[in-house]
Structure 1
């Protein structure tokens, strides 16, 4: 009997993935505290979830992934310090994160000098823009859609609806300015006339002055470009002022938290989003649908949705780590080889879209990766 049990135990061990080899370290830093913790904290949970999945399926050619976690605290200087620790002390093979464009820009040069691939989960484009102004981006990739892509998707919709005269309300941080830059650049291409541009602080609690100015120029639509509570304040102030034109938010705000904070004022608001926000409305023929549904199943099985309902940011770390892991399975962890293999990513079907990365585009998502959603009866649905 004992011999039989021993044989059965040996068979079970042989069937299970053996990940006794030295772990491959990934640095993972997000805003776990500070103004973007509502994004950073669930992003960390998703990073852990996808690493658990990869390890349960055999890891990277038999080696497990191990996350070195850091809290950037929405502080660019803190992010820089953690990035240096990841590269020079922890000797990570790659880095995932951070959360905000400003912190991403502060570690861009560090990753380049340290020759360490970094797959960012930030919204703004400058992290993967080059030239004298933005510096080289050879080692930097990002999983969320480019701001330029979100602007294009929004402008296509506005043009289709005949809403061509707009007023802009822009956050004064790096993300807001990036959106503003692209709206200014692309407006004429899509027949959009910008009547007014007003800025506000990300921590401001009242935008009635900016909205009053916007109302006075008689726009056909308002566009707000920010993340976090500021967007909800714009929606509430607009309702309080009785401004009867549609409000469009950016691709960083499709989140149940936006509806919770804005309340009834959010009803009817529209914004570009990932397909994750309307998974049940996708056609069965959409190749992303089964991938997104599996992600939602795993996320809910972990119970994360109880504290952090799924939002447009939820899949960013999943896609980043999956792409990095896929490249590692092909070429290992040599920095140069890994960077080059990530850059060759083609046809990866992810949560946020189907990625086709090139040397010129270290994001790889097109306008077709986004949909326009609107708030209807307190929920996000595909916009009409």
Structure 2
């Protein structure tokens, strides 16, 4: 009799919703160390913040989310190993991350063969481009495409009559992606690139490239990179006494940029998410209330003290929401989940309003971005 009772008790425990078997496992990996940890670490905090919020509100149709976190260290090989573990050992339903374009590219084949949806938080477009870049059937991304950022920048340059530019771009995947789109889109906007110079993403001096750029006689300078290199280029411009407007890319709207560049950042302009200037948005903008709620929660957690709000802050939030909203509708079967994420329409997120299609696994348009400038040590809408 006692054996029967124990057997029944074990069955009841196995059926209990409190056990991990009834949770929905999501894998998340970011640069928690390495050159992009200033983006990856707050991405981790935001991911945990949102999962805690969803779980506190009852989870997804009554099921809690179990978030498995890992550090890619900015290493494409390590990211590939983590993705493999997530899929085949941990049996996650979907993955969020990583942080860098090159790292994301190393994960594409793994999620494709493992048939596991991933919403990446990388800047470059190749992760969701096919052809020579490989299948993107299982890959989505929450940050704006580089193409969209270039279109926003070129629209502004054209409106200001700044049609002759000199370009400096990093030699990594993100920099090459920006260069590719600028070369392709320049003719349509009447933009002439007088000179194109490259530099290493970890370089600490760009004076040689900037001197060549200045000598070409441009009306404006454009720099396409992320991290400290952007601030270094701004300081080099000031040191060389180059009196030309400086435009950075959409990866740099961050108080850290102003801190690193110092007075050299004043007047610098760049495309950004609306998150950077939420208080300047009209009340009619459907994103305003959503962003303000996000900022309120972020500040209440105290994250802003170490990691002030920047253009990257909402990427992990939007990535998880795209996955969670799809799970709520169709469950966790891989093919159904992938297809449902691809059908996302009118999701009002932190970084924009998402409308995905089979051809566009990002779903953000030019209107999701604004041009900002540094004024008195703060980001404001550009004049």
TM range (shorter): over 0.9
Q: Give the match for residue 275 of structure 2.
A: 276
Deviations 1:155-206 (A, max 9, x none): 0000000000000000000000000000000000000000000000111111
Unaligned runs of 5+ in 2: 1-15
* Kept after mapping to 2: 8 A contact 1:115/1:335: yes
Deviations 1:200-235 (A, max 9, x none): 011111100000000000110000000000000000
Once residues 338 and 325 of structure 2 are traced to their aligned partners in structure 1, the CA distance between those partners, rounded to angstroms, is 12
Alignment pair present for 1:332 and 2:331: yes
Once residues 99 and 19 of structure 1 are traced to their aligned partners in structure 2, the CA distance between those partners, rounded to angstroms, is 33
SS of structure 2 residue aligned to 1:145: coil
Once residues 323 and 171 of structure 1 are traced to their aligned partners in structure 2, the CA distance between those partners, rounded to angstroms, is 30
Alignment pair present for 1:35 and 2:35: yes
Deviations 1:228-268 (A, max 9, x none): 00000000000000000000000000000000000000000
Once residues 232 and 102 of structure 2 are traced to their aligned partners in structure 1, the CA distance between those partners, rounded to angstroms, is 22
Deviations 1:107-160 (A, max 9, x none): 0110000000000000000000001x1111000000000000000000000000
Q: Give the match for residue 199 of structure 1.
A: 198
Q: Give the match for residue 127 of structure 1.
A: 127
SS of structure 1 residue aligned to 2:362: coil
Q: Give the match for residue 6 of structure 1.
A: none
TM-score, length of structure 1 as denominator length:
0.95
Deviation at 1:23, TM superposition (A): 1.0
* Kept after mapping to 2: 8 A contact 1:19/1:58: no
Q: Give the match for residue 47 of structure 2.
A: 47
Deviations 1:21-47 (A, max 9, x none): 611110000000000000000000000
Q: Structure 1 runs of 4+ off > 3 angstroms?
A: none
Deviations 1:308-355 (A, max 9, x none): 000000000000101100000011100000000000000000000000
SS of structure 1 residue aligned to 2:324: helix
Q: Give the match for residue 158 of structure 1.
A: 157
Once residues 163 and 348 of structure 1 are traced to their aligned partners in structure 2, the CA distance between those partners, rounded to angstroms, is 35
Q: Give the match for residue 107 of structure 2.
A: 107
* Structural mapping, 1:143-222, within 5 Å: 143-222=142-221
Deviation at 1:20, TM superposition (A): 2.7
Q: Give the match for residue 381 of structure 1.
A: 380
Unaligned runs of 5+ in 1: 1-17
Q: Give the match for residue 307 of structure 1.
A: 306
Once residues 320 and 171 of structure 2 are traced to their aligned partners in structure 1, the CA distance between those partners, rounded to angstroms, is 30
Alignment pair present for 1:252 and 2:273: no
CA RMSD of aligned residues (A): 0.8
How many residues are matched? 366
* Kept after mapping to 2: 8 A contact 1:255/1:310: yes
Alignment pair present for 1:323 and 2:333: no
SS of structure 2 residue aligned to 1:182: helix
Once residues 55 and 188 of structure 1 are traced to their aligned partners in structure 2, the CA distance between those partners, rounded to angstroms, is 49
SS of structure 1 residue aligned to 2:107: helix
* Kept after mapping to 2: 8 A contact 1:143/1:363: yes
Structure 1 residues 265 and 90: alpha-carbon distance in aligned structure 2, compared to 1, 3 A threshold: same
Once residues 50 and 360 of structure 1 are traced to their aligned partners in structure 2, the CA distance between those partners, rounded to angstroms, is 28
Q: Give the match for residue 68 of structure 1.
A: 68
Once residues 68 and 120 of structure 2 are traced to their aligned partners in structure 1, the CA distance between those partners, rounded to angstroms, is 15
Once residues 276 and 138 of structure 2 are traced to their aligned partners in structure 1, the CA distance between those partners, rounded to angstroms, is 30
Once residues 81 and 181 of structure 2 are traced to their aligned partners in structure 1, the CA distance between those partners, rounded to angstroms, is 30
Deviation at 1:19, TM superposition (A): 6.5
Q: Give the match for residue 94 of structure 1.
A: 94
Deviation at 1:75, TM superposition (A): 0.5
TM-score, length of structure 2 as denominator length:
0.95
* Kept after mapping to 2: 8 A contact 1:19/1:59: no
Deviation at 1:57, TM superposition (A): 1.1
